[in-house]
Chains A and B, each alone.
Chain A
Amino acid sequence: MENNLNATFEEHSKAYTTLNLGPTHPATHGIFQNILTMDGEIIVDSEQTVGYIHRAFEKIAEHRPFYQVTPLTDRLNYCSSPINNMGWHMTMEKLLGVTVPKRVDYMRVIVMELARIADHLVCNSVIGVDTGALTGFTYVFQWREKIYDIYEEICGARLTTNIGRIGGMERDFNKEVIAKIEDFLAGFPKVFNEFCSLLERNRIFMDRTIGTGPISAEKALNYGFTGPNLRATGVDYDVRVMNPYASYADFDFNIPVGINGDTYDRFMVRQEEIRESLKIIRQALNNLPEGKYFAEVPSFYLPPKEEVYHNMEALIWHFKIVMGEADVPVGEIYHSVEGGNGELGFYLVSDGGRAAYRLHFRRPCFIYYQAFPEMVKGSTLSDAIVAMSSMNVIAGELDA
């Protein structure tokens, strides 16, 4: 609908207005565009444009050795890169038929749950920001930084982590790591409780979020929702329980679900998941098994550097791994993990070559973001913005 400047007042009040929300807009938290058709302040229709940061990861992955795909997965949902990394390592291990030691599983669980906390903290505190409460955001972000300090101690990186290897972790948890995780488990719950009391029963926040951007369980399933957004509608689908990976079956935790599938339920499901993640980390740390931190996969797991410098065989293996010269079985495989915002799947077709014949990433937010127009139709612009931030759409994952 064109915005006619010469229209009379009468015509103006009847006409729809077209509003561009994005591509770069402070409220979209990423580069994607929504062209909204507005009747006054009510959204009549919206049309989405995505792909602004499309980097053709699936094409790139067909030309890279398998271990070089890990940095690509970092850049999908960059709020919880370790989960993506681990998901990819486990896909490769499943293809190769490798069983990793229990200790690796537990170490991975600790890192993945830390990543989940970081991811949910970003999303939930930003919902607060979009409703006008900046305090909680600045407060909990200090603790997200502490999670990043733990990553840094484990793998040397903070945001795009490239953590772990195919076959295990790159190094064992040292004393610093354990101490930092203990510090986090001791200090974070207190801060988190204060964050909860800022928002969870806050009258203004509840009025802004309850009943906005709702979706029914039936529709959510039809739209391919997964993760906290699906659980907010009342469906208890969680990959960690339905298809346990990395010894998740060993831990005792609950799957929180919502009722109405609105913004408040999505927020509350994430809040509860943070508490459950803390429980899982505590259990994993208490029961961390002794043993090796890697499996025997010489064609993928780099030998120790000292050996490479002094031992011929280790040098050959190192060379073969770095050049991507390892043999892989022919086959096709689908493996999924519970990512920060839903089921992150890897569909890998291998023809036995040095790179994947086809690798497809099932990116949860690419699939569920389609439902956004239906969720916000008839609501006000301010509600739509809160609904969008509660969906946890990450541009890197959306566009791959």
Chain B
Amino acid sequence: MGNLTNEAILQHIQSGLPGTIISAQESYGMCTIEVQPEKIVSLFQFLYNHPEMAFQFLTDLCGIHYPDQAGKELGVVYHLHSLVNNLRLRIKAFVPKTNPQIDSVSAIFKSANWQERETYDFYGIEFIGHPNLIRILNVDEMTYFPLRKEYPLEDQHRTDKNDSYFGR
């Protein structure tokens, strides 16, 4: 078991790949960094091959949508796990909704294959270099990306669930 800390991760990345991290914070003990989307593959390679950090397990990959963040509406959230250090790292990369493109990490982690397809299916984020970027859970004929916030689940004309009744 190594003694890697969240601060050490940030220092390693800042010295090895300067200019990659946009912002960093700690959320419930997990180091969370926002990075430049165009540098995602080089960052993953760096983290994977680094002898001390060895982030060699991709736990999770999913999308997120913030309609109000102009130019950075759609995001991809990666959870990496360094099994030798038993430390997790959350990486976020945001792309504009008008051109939602980011490089695929499926060449580094085979587990990213379906998870990137799922993210494409839900949010329409295109993963460049993905071997087979087609919908996975929804039907191929679908013309929209259902987890984006502009698609409401329920009929928005319902009046019996008005939030203003509850002071919102």
Chain A interface residues toward B at CB < 8 A: 50-51, 54, 56, 58-60, 62-63, 94-95, 219, 221-224, 235, 237, 242-243, 323, 325, 331-334, 336, 343, 345, 347, 349, 354, 358, 360, 362, 366-371, 399-400
Cα distance A362–B62 in the bound complex, in angstroms: 9
Q: Is the CB of B146 within 8 A of A94?
A: no
Other 17 A-B pairs with CB < 8 A, given A50-B136, A224-B58, A354-B166: A56-B153, A59-B153, A94-B28, A222-B111, A325-B166, A332-B27, A332-B28, A332-B32, A334-B30, A345-B60, A347-B77, A354-B168, A366-B118, A369-B114, A370-B111, A370-B114, A371-B110
Cα distance A345–B58 in the bound complex, in angstroms: 12
In the assembled complex, 30 residue pairs joining A and B whose CB atoms fall closer than 8 Å, in A order, are A51-B135, A54-B137, A56-B153, A58-B147, A59-B147, A63-B153, A221-B57, A221-B83, A224-B57, A224-B58, A235-B83, A243-B86, A331-B28, A332-B28, A332-B32, A332-B90, A333-B28, A334-B59, A336-B59, A345-B59, A345-B60, A354-B166, A358-B65, A366-B114, A366-B115, A366-B118, A367-B114, A370-B110, A370-B111, A371-B110
Q: Is the CB of A51 within 8 A of B137?
A: yes
Point out the residues of chain B lying under 8 angstroms from A370, CB to CB.
110-111, 113-114
Task: Please judge, given known A-B contacts A59-B147, A243-B86, whether A334 and B79 are in contact too, CB under 8 Å.
Answer: yes
**Who on chain B is nearest to A236 by CB?**
B83
Q: Is the CB of A399 within 8 A of B137?
A: yes
Count CB-based A-B contacts (< 8 Å).
93
Does chain A have a CB within 8 A of B39? no
* Option from A50, A62, A63 in Cβ contact (under 8 Å) with B137: A50
* Option from A62, A224, A235 in Cβ contact (under 8 Å) with B109: A224
Task: Please judge, given known A-B contacts A54-B137, A333-B27, whether A62 and B153 are in contact too, CB under 8 Å.
Answer: yes
- B interface, size bucket: 35 or more
Point out the residues of chain A lying under 8 angstroms from B136, CB to CB.
50-51
Point out the residues of chain B lying under 8 angstroms from A332, CB to CB.
27-28, 32, 90
**Who on chain A is nearest to B64 by CB?**
A358
Point out the residues of chain B lying under 8 angstroms from A95, CB to CB.
28
Cα distance A94–B28 in the bound complex, in angstroms: 8
In the assembled complex, how far is the CB of residue A49 from the closest CB belonging to chain B, in whole angstroms? 9
Cα distance A369–B118 in the bound complex, in angstroms: 14
Cα distance A50–B88 in the bound complex, in angstroms: 29
**Who on chain B is nearest to A61 by CB?**
B153
In the assembled complex, how far is the CB of residue A368 from the closest CB belonging to chain B, in whole angstroms? 8
Q: Is the CB of A362 within 8 A of B110?
A: no
Cα distance A219–B114 in the bound complex, in angstroms: 16
Chain B interface residues toward A at CB < 8 A: 27-28, 30, 32, 56-60, 62, 64-65, 77, 79, 83, 86, 88, 90, 109-111, 113-115, 118, 122, 135-138, 146-147, 153-154, 166, 168
* Option from B58, B60, B118 in Cβ contact (under 8 Å) with A347: B60
**Who on chain A is nearest to B147 by CB?**
A59
Q: Is the CB of A224 within 8 A of B166?
A: no
Cα distance A329–B116 in the bound complex, in angstroms: 29
In the assembled complex, how far is the CB of residue B160 from the closest CB belonging to chain A, in whole angstroms? 12
Q: Is the CB of A362 within 8 A of B32?
A: no
Point out the residues of chain B lying under 8 angstroms from A360, CB to CB.
60, 62, 77
In the assembled complex, how far is the CB of residue A312 from the closest CB belonging to chain B, in whole angstroms? 19
Q: Is the CB of B88 within 8 A of A334?
A: yes
Q: Is the CB of A331 within 8 A of B111?
A: no
Point out the residues of chain A lying under 8 angstroms from B77, CB to CB.
347, 360
Cα distance A354–B166 in the bound complex, in angstroms: 11
Q: Is the CB of B86 within 8 A of A242?
A: yes
Q: Is the CB of B79 within 8 A of A345?
A: yes
Cα distance A57–B67 in the bound complex, in angstroms: 21
**Who on chain B is nearest to A62 by CB?**
B153
Cα distance A349–B122 in the bound complex, in angstroms: 17
Point out the residues of chain B lying under 8 angstroms from A366, CB to CB.
114-115, 118
Cα distance A172–B157 in the bound complex, in angstroms: 43
Point out the residues of chain A lying under 8 angstroms from B86, CB to CB.
242-243
**Who on chain B is nearest to A218 by CB?**
B56
Point out the residues of chain B lying under 8 angstroms from A54, CB to CB.
137-138
* Option from A219, A222, A343 in Cβ contact (under 8 Å) with B59: A343
Point out the residues of chain A lying under 8 angstroms from B115, CB to CB.
366-367
* Option from A51, A59, A221, A369 in Cβ contact (under 8 Å) with B56: A221
Point out the residues of chain A lying under 8 angstroms from B111, CB to CB.
222-224, 367-368, 370
In the assembled complex, how far is the CB of residue B110 from the closest CB belonging to chain A, in whole angstroms? 5
**Who on chain B is nearest to A60 by CB?**
B153
Closest A-B pairs by Cβ, 3 of them: A224-B111, A51-B137, A360-B62
**Who on chain A is nearest to B25 by CB?**
A332
In the assembled complex, how far is the CB of residue A99 from the closest CB belonging to chain B, in whole angstroms? 14
Q: Is the CB of B59 within 8 A of A362?
A: yes
